[in-house]
Amino acid sequence: MPDTRPEPIETRVAERFKLDTAKHQLAVLHEDGLYRHLRLQQPGTGHHWFDLITWPGALAIKGDMGSYTFSRSSDMLDFFRRSAYNGAPNLSYWEEKLDAADAHSGVRAYSEDLLRQYIADDLTACAEAASAAYMDGLREELDDELLGEYSGWFLGDEGDALAGVRQFSYRPDGEEPFSFDPTEWVVTEYAWHYMWCCHAIVWGIAAYDRAKAEQPAPLLAAAAVATVEG
């Protein structure tokens, strides 16, 4: 049976980030030691623009995809260079260094895909011991009572979805009942905007490093522009 699980959100964010920033350019708006202001955006549009701002002990990213502030070491660009995971965002470690998360997107978000995967896993486990007729009846009732369009439960909302899961019970005559126990289910994952901004930090620092390699530091004047490559 083919794997019908959705592509991991981390993969989707990474691929989308490349598209969103394909024509971005770097502008060094300010540089004075550990005080830096870097802007990355596509000329002529504000879509997916972002700034990286550093001061001793902190880095803030702000822009079209949200605002997050991190603190760990004196030079935060160096911190992110060293702690990136094989050139990719180190999401869990960097989460520990957050001082402030975006007020709207936060760091973690509910995932309907994860909830549905838990349901599918429990059905698979049940099918190992149950008859085909039992499973047919279970799936039909599950669709009517929980998963179907007219079930009355909105699986796009974490509270509503988990309430529906807890209340669902299949009780065929003369057979063992079936219900879900979502006590240990983890139905949240890193928020899209948080992951996007972490990719932006890695990518923006790499663009800055390339610019510095091409131009000595004294030539990185305010608003000096370097084209960002992928």
Question: What pLDDT sits at residue 172?
Answer: 93
How far apart CA 107 and CA 84 sit, in angstroms, is 18
How far apart CA 142 and CA 197 sit, in angstroms, is 38
226, 210 Cβ separation under 8 angstroms: yes
49, 64 Cβ separation under 8 angstroms: yes
Q: Which SS3 state, helix, strand or coil, does residue 171 take?
A: coil
Mean pLDDT for all residues in the chain: 90
Residue 152 pLDDT exceeds 80: no
H-helix or E-strand spanning residue 25: strand 25-32
pTM of the model as a whole:
0.81
CB count in 10 Å sphere of residue 104: 9
Mean pLDDT is lowest, of 16-25, 97-106, 221-230, for 221-230
Question: What pLDDT sits at residue 198?
Answer: 97
Question: What pLDDT sits at residue 229?
Answer: 47
164, 146 Cβ separation under 8 angstroms: yes
126, 135 Cβ separation under 8 angstroms: yes
Q: What percent of the chain has pLDDT over 90?
A: 80
Pairing type for strands 188-190 and 25-32 reads: unpaired
Residue 201 pLDDT exceeds 90: yes
How far apart CA 106 and CA 108 sit, in angstroms, is 6
109 DSSP β-pair partners:
189
Residue 84 pLDDT exceeds 80: yes
Domain residue extents for the chain: 9-107+192-227, 110-189
Q: Which SS3 state, helix, strand or coil, does residue 208 take?
A: helix
